[in-house]
Structure 1
Amino acid sequence: MERFTISLSDELAAEFDQWIAARGYSNRSEAVRDLLRKEIETKRLKQDQAIYSIATLSYVYNHHERNLAERLTGHQHDAHDLVVSSMHVHLDHDDCLETLFLRGLTARIRAFADKLSAETGVRHASLNLVPVKMATGTHQHDHHGHSHSHIHPHS
């Protein structure tokens, strides 16, 4: 682990300590590491350097909209390699909230999210991407060698 020292004005240090306390960090180092990770991952996403991601796509829709639920389910089946899981919540008599958990190529996740979000009747769609490293390989688990992927967060 590499260590470095930074200098802050008293005012900035006090504000940073308040920010740290409000979020429940135990020390400044953890807070700085998380801020750096966030900035680096944001840059990767903006510059299309994040090849793989895990993500959540949340959206609200009116389940009375003609065939919308069926269309949304159809899109999910078409992207079964991206969709890991879904959660469905009834908000009221008309509206539902659905959150999809996704994993795969970032470009495909974005395209899938755009397709679902553009469906007539889908409102308030929000995609949260987390860039990851994806490694595929074969190794032993309980004496059974098989090929599968491992997902690792960056840094």
Structure 2
Amino acid sequence: MEQSVRVLFICLGNICRSPMAEAVMRRLVLEQGLESRISIDSAGTGDWHIGREPHEGTRKVLDTNGISYEGMTARQVSPQDWTGFHYLVCMDRKNLKDVREMMSGTMEKNGAEKLFTFMELIPERGVADVPDPYYEGNFDYVYELVNEGCSALLDKIKADMDWR
């Protein structure tokens, strides 16, 4: 039986960065025929956009690049996500801090490596956080980072799982 890997991308409201990463990662996984082995989701640390579709700027950049976001709606991260996912990837250090606080009663000491920031995947960029395009409007730049980071994450997952 093939091992199934679950990835959760986390940002503030779950309408810009994390759904963009979810959509890009889904496309990459599909292109490599790994959709039966890797599942992807996204969530926000905040609750004010629950049930909403991705932000218009995120939808536009995904449409431009031919990437589906069909059926995606915002949800809030929960302590159950700690045991439900193998990788919890926070789009910035503030989200990482917030997730650590939210999961403090759930996190086991030996599972800390499953929680990290997105930009740790592409340290050569010299950027600590994926900027929030909700405030900055820089959706194309965020897409560039997300595309590069998701490729690196897929390589990491394949190496971690020793998939050849």
TM-score tier (shorter): under 0.3
TM, length-normalised to structure 1: 0.25
TM, length-normalised to structure 2: 0.24
